[in-house]
Structure 1
Amino acid sequence: MGVDSQESFISHLVELRNRLIYSLLAVLVVFLCLVWWAKDLYALMAAPLLAVLPQGGQMIATDVVGVFLVPIKVVAWLSLLIAMPFILFQAWSFIAPGLYAHEKRLALPLLVASCLLFVCGMAFAYFIFFPGMFKVMASFTPEGVAWMTDIDKYLSFVMGMFLAFGATFEVPVAVVLLVALGIVTTAKLAEARRFVIVGAFVVAAVVTPPDVASQFMLAVPMCLLYEVGILVARMLERSRS
């Protein structure tokens, strides 16, 4: 490795370190701004479950420090989410100089779309999936059984669903990226539609609670978003031709 190459490599490492530091500082600043409302933020996240609990029902904490750590975890996740545009900007600023012009024209819209779709997936889970699923669970609660969940377990469940629905809403981005890279054509994607539908219901059966309504609320959007991805990819193919 020549001297120039070594200096260039070291300068890239220094820039990467600086970008990572800026990103961590952004998360820390948002965290410090939100930590004073940690209890309120957890209450907001628990609202879909608390709305369907029977009168007098409540959530419990089985861990001594859970009442402190769980709201802090909520603030940490929310801080990361809020700071994500800045983090992605730092990542884009690092990789953009090494991309060709046509790659930049494709990468930037996909990056923005992936962020928006992930947030839309989380919003779908919070406003549609959680209320419907918790109502179903409440209707199946036997008489004489007090339905109370631990706050830490509830947080783990909610975060898992947020990630699942956020990833589900990334399907159009994945489809467009596969077509843009020439890995597959829209014709092949259309032919594979039946397998995608089956796979969507299999994934929904594994990820969501074992009730049909919850599985449909994950599988159906996945199938619809797959079709949206095919439509956008066809527009991309036509523009290239």
Structure 2
Amino acid sequence: MKVRGQAASPYTADHSASTTRLPLTLQDTPQSISVITEQRIADQNLTNLRDVLDNTTGVSSTAYDSERVVFWSRGFQIENMSYDGVPVASSLNIGSADASLDTSIYERIEVIRGATGLLSGSGSPSTNINFVRKHADSRTAQANVTLSYGKWNTQRETLDASAPLNASGSVRGRFVAAHEEGDSYLDRYHQQKNVAYGVIDADLGEDTTLSVGYDWQKTRPTGVT
């Protein structure tokens, strides 16, 4: 008799469908992939996308000034991005991913190094960033509130609440909000950021779930370079 087991780790994902749409283990995925989970984001206080990518293998960043950041991988700018596995067009007024994106609304961020033309079409052969958003997956009411205060008078508050919307729990809702503001080593610099995200998940069958959500972020820096 053979007994096989697999230890679950909060710092990795069991499966990923970012490269082929098939839920493969990371070992079976035919590309180099890094998964930055919600637990790692919380433990390392990675509050924005630049924090995440600067802690990802094979990715580097350069800054033009206090706000504009460009990310690089395998010698090319990172231009390919997707949300929940669906490719999106990068903004025309920036050359790379938005470094200020807040991480509070994501369950994990997957970084697939190399070309991902199978799903994203033609594009940069650098890396694809897949943002996997949080979903209303709890059938009981729960909430999590965090408060932090750090250097340069930086303060941050987050709320993550979810609850069933009917008696059976087949329809559920989740709401995430974050507020952050603080100064910098730069004189007269100040940044304020507000984030809100809501999603409703409804089970249409045993294997089918309908999700409707909306996320919003406003970042307002002053005294920029």
**TM-score higher than 0.5 here?**
no
Higher strand residue share? 2
Larger radius of gyration: 1
Q: TM-score, normalised by structure 2?
A: 0.27
Indicate the structure whose relative CO is greater, using CA pairs within 8 Å and at least 6 residues apart.
1
Q: TM-score, normalised by structure 1?
A: 0.26
